[in-house]
Structure formats: C-alpha cells, structure tokens
Chain A
Amino acid sequence: MLRFLAYLTLVAVAAGGASLIVTRPQTIPDSAIAGIEADLARGEQAFHAAGCASCHAAKGAEGEARLILAGGATFETPAGTFVAPNISQHPEAGIGEWSRAEIVTAILAGTSPGGAHYYPAFPYGSYAKAELADIVSLAAFLETLPEDPTPSAPHDLGFPFNIRVGIGLWKSIAVSNDWVIDTRGDETLARGRYLVEALGHCGECHTPRTATQGLDSTRWLAGAPNPSGRGTIPNITPGALDWTVDDIVAYLTTGFTPDFDVVGGSMTSVVQNLALLPEADVRAIAAYFKAVPPVE
C-alpha cells in the first residue's frame, strides 16, 4: 500500500512543475473567515472532539498538561517516524505568529503557511469535513493556550517519503469530502456522524485503507492493521462490537469495557479527550455506531 504512495511521490517528482500545478496546495484566505465570529467555548469543544492534544501535547501528559501543545509525540509507520510539531503559542517554536486563516488552512486543507503539503499523519483528510465556524473557533481557542519553547523535531523519513510533492497527488485521489453514512434526517445521528467522521477522525485508525491509502468506505470502521506494525485496531461496526449504547458511552468516557478491562494503546488518549465532551455528544457517537453497516 505504501508502495503506492512512494510511487505517487516519484511520479510527482519526475513530472516536476507540471504536477505542482495540478496539485497546488489549497488555502483558505482571510476573506473566507472574515465574517465568522469565533466562539471560545465552541472552539474548546472542537479541540477536545478533534483530539489535537493526543498528538500535540507531550507524550504521557495528563489533565491540564494536555493544553501545553509542545509536540514531540512520535508515530511509527512503515514510511518512517513522524514527530508531531510544537503548535503552542510560542512565536518561534510554535504557531504564535500565524494568522487565524493560516491555522484554519493547515487544519482543513493540510497546507502550510509556506504553501507546502502536510503529511496525512496530521489527519486533515477527516478534518476537511468540519464546519468552518468550528475550526475558526478552534483556532481562537488555540490562541488562549500557553507558549512552550521546545523546538519541533524533524520527521525521520526515508526517500521518497521525505519529499512532500507527492502528497498533493495523494490528496487529490484519496481525500473525499463525502459523508460515509446516510443519517436520513436524524439529528442525533447527524451529530454523531459529524463527531466520528469529521472531528473525531475515528476512521483514520479504525478503517482499513484502499490501494491508494484512502479510507475504504466499504469497510468503514471495520478494523485495520496498527500503523506501528504491531497488532490491530478493532472492528467497531455492529458486526463485531455488540456493546449497548450505555456500554459504549461508559467506555468512551471512563475507559472501562463492559468486562472492566481498561482501554489501552492509542485509544487511551482518545478516551481522555472524549471524557471532556458533553454527554449528549458521546451518546450521539454511540448512536452512530449502531447505525454503521455491520462488517464481520
């Protein structure tokens, strides 16, 4: 699968300027967000629902320390090791000098202020479905968080993954803005879908990938290999997960399974985020799971 990404990169490098035009990074201009008023409470909820702290807080940080977005968490993948950068308000080490539109552009379009493509280890492919007002509010919330001077560490990637041009092609092929589930006008399901498919980016871990490294919507949330190379991420469709809505809500907010095993691995930090959401939101997520097509 990753070979395909490598191949895209090589094609893109070979095609040089031509492919740069085809896959020019998208940006969201100041004018697009000018009329949107930021709401800090809404931004804080979006921050927790989107799990920014899972990656950008220091490894092992708990409680208030998860608001210090110093970066440093590492993600092992077959392409190499990614390191989450410092996104604190520090003017040099972090993103303190960025405009709000630049932050929104990074989150929704995966494009840096300098116009480079971000690697999809930053799950902007899911965030792309988020409401602009949520992300503008989130950007405003980030501005209220502390500074941290820790410099961002470079990724440790081999050729050709260390060349960002190929990501543009990947974005155009693999990122889709279509919702996976039809919620048929049900408001709770629509809220659950928004939290799972957009902000919560649950599919980034729980859904297997297609040959082009996009999320396979025909096996949505049906489980996937762990990108670290060890073990698997569970199937959470009704084909495998027979928990009640209450069981799911309890797990997502306390980490206890119905058998009182305790959540582990990369899900631990997801639970820490979801525990900070209003219970109605977690219930909407659980309701959504019941509506997902079962995959055995």
Chain B
Amino acid sequence: MIKPLAFTAAFGALAVAGTAIADSHAGLPPAVKARQAHMQLYAHNLGILGGMARGNAEYSAEAASAAASNLAALSQLDQMTYWAPGTDSDTVEGSKALPALWENIPDAVSKGQALATAAVALSETAGNGLEAVQAGLGPVGRACGSCHEAYQLSDN
C-alpha cells in the first residue's frame, strides 16, 4: 500500500518540520514537541488537499497524490513514544493532550487507526480527480476530529 519512497520522504519531512516547530515550542519535553510536529505535518498536507478542494488552488493529480500519500504514511508511523506518560496537559504547560488519553490508550490507538484507514483510502483515490479529493477529505477530517473531540484540550 505505502511506497517505500513516499515513506522515506515523509520521514525526511518529519525531521525538517520537527526542527522548525521545535524552535517555536522551545522548552517543551521532546515527546510533546514530536507529537505536535507530527500534527503540524498532518495539517500541512491536509491544507494542500483542502486548498484544492475549496478551489483556492488548482487541482493537480501529482500534488494531490503526494500530499495524500504523506498523510497515509504519517498516520501509520508508530507514535507510541510521542505519548510518553507524564506529558499530559495537566502536567506540561504547552501541551493540549488531555489526561483522558492515557486513561484510554486502546481507544486512542483505535482512533489513530481510523485515521490511517481514511488516509490510505484517500491516498488511493486522490490522483483520480478533484471530486475524489473532495469526497475523501470529509472522512479524514472526521477521523482527526473524533480524536480531538475526546483528547485535545480546548484552550486559547
């Protein structure tokens, strides 16, 4: 399903974005920086697809496939070390990960898997045209949202 090249590219992007984000999130525990950077990569790739879906950018099969493959790859990375115990929002200022996440690890993992399912589906169709992107974005967004609903602190 996932091409090794795309996978490596996603890793590379992760490292690059990781350093960029780390600067703005100075002082946070590495695990928190890592997961926030991971989330920013989701948002970045989703933004490329969303821009096309909304007509703010021209549809390109290549760019859409690349962004969707990145999302699929990212959603399948092993993230267990990001969610280190003792790094919840009650303990670490600057984290928005609710303690409930650690009380419901199996559920959080299954929400992560639901995202992977939706993202892989999108990666398989994103090159087929704008409509496919528009149709596939909803399930991805809902998968992100169902985890944020349960485990992300609202605070700003």
Contact = CB atoms under 8 A, between A and B. Distances in A.
* A and B bind: yes
Interface of A: 60, 62, 226, 230-234, 250, 254-256, 259-269, 271
B154 A266 contact: yes
Contact of A231 (B148, B150, B154): B154
A230 B154 CA distance: 8
Interface string B98-126: 10000000000000000000000000000
A232 B156 contact: yes
Nearest to A63: B142
Given A250-B54, A259-B47, A260-B50, A230 B153 contact: yes
Interface of B is mostly: helix
17 contacts: A62-B142, A226-B154, A226-B155, A231-B154, A232-B154, A254-B137, A254-B138, A260-B46, A262-B43, A262-B46, A262-B144, A262-B145, A262-B148, A263-B149, A264-B145, A265-B153, A271-B145
Contacts of A250: 54
Interface of A is mostly: loop
A59 B27 CA distance: 36
B149 A264 contact: yes
Given A234-B154, A265-B152, A260 B44 contact: yes
Interface in B50-73: 50, 54
A226 B142 CA distance: 23
Nearest to A205: B154
Residues of B in contact with A, size category:
20 to 34
B141 A233 contact: no
Contacts of A226: 154-155
B154 to A, nearest CB: 4
A232 B155 CA distance: 5
B79 interface: no
Nearest to A225: B155
8 A-B pairs with least C-beta separation: A264-B148, A265-B154, A231-B155, A268-B149, A262-B144, A260-B47, A264-B152, A260-B43
A101 B121 CA distance: 48
Nearest to B44: A260
Interface string B35-55: 000010001101100100010
A49 to B, nearest CB: 20
Contacts, number: 70
Given A260-B47, A260-B50, A268 B155 contact: no
B76 interface: no
A163 to B, nearest CB: 31
A268 B145 contact: yes
Given A259-B43, A269-B149, A254 B89 contact: no
Nearest to B56: A246
Contact of B154 (A233, A254, A256, A259): A233
B13 to A, nearest CB: 15
Contacts of A232: 154-156
A254 B140 CA distance: 11
